[in-house]
Structure 1
């Protein structure tokens, strides 16, 4: 259940109790990852570029729901939601502003990154928007970015990487993203010139929604964290479907940082030990679902406990797919562009 506190004279109610709006059927989310978090004013300037043009006029049908800043990683995730017809210009404007303000020639965070704008994923939220349409918009964003910001380069992933449709984890391995210091001279972008030190290289793509769920375990032993991460990774027998995961040093502990991909099909029936049911939604007439944060947390806690280690907590970066659409419909209905600035509180 999604509950919201009053904000700025409005009372936001749970959208799940209301009929889906016609606008909601055409919504797309971009979880824009930029390699800066310690200068929050700068990150907010990037976010505002998505919702206001250069004359300060608001772009209709666009809102920024959330800005997640991680000081230790020096990485921010900006949740931009717009209609499929307006998402391209919103995202491009934010990317342009980020490229003008962020220099990754001397990275300062503990999270891997290869670009000032590190990742531009587009996710369909509405029934009338398929992944293929998002992929078309993602390719247009990639092409336009390399034209509008001279020196930028791009690799494609997911449905935007036609016809191979290689996933983000595979493309990152190919680019050297997981290495502490990638050899940028060896990187071969799909679009644009060889990566320049200021901009690096940007991943642009499309897929069903990917949620970020991070569980902190109370240890500084990175090898232990990697063992826990490997055990829940989708590719491991008995791993959690849709989960791609890294173990990273974070604020004096180790964070099990999970990308939780939506998987096609009906949700599995959880056993009593697995807790909450898998949330499900529909895209283009096809059912999708994703592993709940409670399941990831319980698996990580169990694996850590087997090694004599406790957990410090779980953080969701942004929202689940359903929450993202619900909040976006509410924000757009109320005309709230800078939704992240409102004093709302979310309980899940």
Structure 2
């Protein structure tokens, strides 16, 4: 069986279409790589690109993309709603088919070493690639963001794993590692109140707030305002979709919003989603609504899209957003 891995780098540019296209073209020009999705966010000023292929080709494409991003993005002037620490903020590698996590860890390490050595960008390993679990969590690594990293990089315990122990003013620093599937998922509220969005984020995220754990395991969340929607959002990363599935996250956010007198008005994916997430959501809602329970895949997926309000903010094309539907390899 041919080995396939997925790469989902996040770049600190969501506005300049030429820059985004240049990075995407760099990736798609590598033989053996399939460009699956390009998802820019204007207010977040961040673009998530998804591509997949054989491991060596994916590593080559990721390296080229990080190089191009460093040439075109200037962190000295970059601003946006999303936390960030570098032009290429984070670059995860994900096992898809015919390959173990341990093997993906080795490929991630090769990429990180190459970026540090050849591009001279400070690189931090994370998730399965990081042996020091005190600094394996992306949010902990990125704490302080670009502005504070000039000092943080010199603090005990924060020397990068690869590259110079000096913050790069233009390109920043980057985080690379092997991880499982992660779903980046935002839920939009019927309010402009960032305070309400933050309170919901505190209530649901695993880390909670000021020592009090939140209600959902394997969920990272922040609250922010999105000008393009004129609404506040709860922006989340779901790091274990088997233990904490998307539909339960949606329902818990809705429950917390109602407690604060707010409504959920829609949700959106940043990047792609595995088919199993929508199938499980479809089964959940068909049972909950006492609908005509139908195991047909099309019916389950459409039920999930409707109930999760994935089309409320714009067209949601399952053929372009579900990994299995576009990963024709």
Give yes or no for the alignment of 1:315 onto 2:268: yes
Tell me how far 1:198 sits from its aligned partner: 0.2
Q: What CA distance in whole angstroms lies between the structure 1 residues aligned with 2:119 and 2:147?
A: 24
List 4+ stretches of structure 1 deviating above 4 A: 322-325
In the other structure, the counterpart of 1:134 is 104
Q: What CA distance in whole angstroms lies between the structure 2 residues aligned with 1:146 and 1:306?
A: 47
**TM-superposition CA deviations, 1:199-229 (whole Å, max 9, x none):** 1110111111111010011223322222111
Tell me how far 1:157 sits from its aligned partner: 0.5
**TM-superposition CA deviations, 1:91-110 (whole Å, max 9, x none):** 11111111111111112212
Q: What CA distance in whole angstroms lies between the structure 1 residues aligned with 2:206 and 2:151?
A: 31
In the other structure, the counterpart of 2:291 is none
Q: What CA distance in whole angstroms lies between the structure 2 residues aligned with 1:86 and 1:143?
A: 16
In the other structure, the counterpart of 1:346 is none
**TM-superposition CA deviations, 1:67-107 (whole Å, max 9, x none):** 11100111000001112232211111111111111111112
In the other structure, the counterpart of 2:13 is 36
Give yes or no for the alignment of 1:184 onto 2:150: yes
In the other structure, the counterpart of 1:326 is 324
Q: Give the match's secondary structure for 2:81.
A: coil
TM-score by length of 2: 0.76
Give yes or no for the alignment of 1:234 onto 2:206: yes
Equivalent pairs, count:
271
Tell me how far 1:230 sits from its aligned partner: 1.5
Q: What CA distance in whole angstroms lies between the structure 2 residues aligned with 1:324 and 1:149?
A: 34
Give yes or no for the alignment of 1:197 onto 2:169: yes
In the other structure, the counterpart of 1:272 is none
More RCO (CA 8 Å, sep 6+): 1
For 1:218-297, what aligned pairs fall within 5 Å after superposition? 218-236=190-208, 237=213, 239-251=215-227, 252-262=230-240, 289=242, 291-297=244-250
In the other structure, the counterpart of 2:89 is 118
Relative to structure 1, the CA distance from residue 96 to residue 297 in structure 2 (aligned partners, 3 Å threshold; closer, same or farther) is same
For 1:44-83, what aligned pairs fall within 5 Å after superposition? 44-53=21-30, 59-60=31-32, 62-83=33-54
Relative to structure 1, the CA distance from residue 82 to residue 219 in structure 2 (aligned partners, 3 Å threshold; closer, same or farther) is same
Q: What CA distance in whole angstroms lies between the structure 2 residues aligned with 1:172 and 1:132?
A: 24
Does the aligned pair in 1 maintain the 2:115–2:163 contact within 8 Å?
Answer: no
Does the aligned pair in 2 maintain the 1:31–1:120 contact within 8 Å?
Answer: yes
In the other structure, the counterpart of 2:71 is 100
Q: Give the match's secondary structure for 1:182.
A: helix
Q: Give the match's secondary structure for 2:56.
A: coil
Does the aligned pair in 2 maintain the 1:27–1:325 contact within 8 Å?
Answer: no
Relative to structure 1, the CA distance from residue 255 to residue 238 in structure 2 (aligned partners, 3 Å threshold; closer, same or farther) is closer
Tell me how far 1:191 sits from its aligned partner: 1.8
Point out the structure with the larger strand share.
1
208-217 or 221-230, which deviates more = 221-230
**TM-superposition CA deviations, 1:157-190 (whole Å, max 9, x none):** 11111253723233233xx23xx84242322322
Give yes or no for the alignment of 1:27 onto 2:4: yes
Q: What CA distance in whole angstroms lies between the structure 2 residues aligned with 1:321 and 1:167?
A: 23
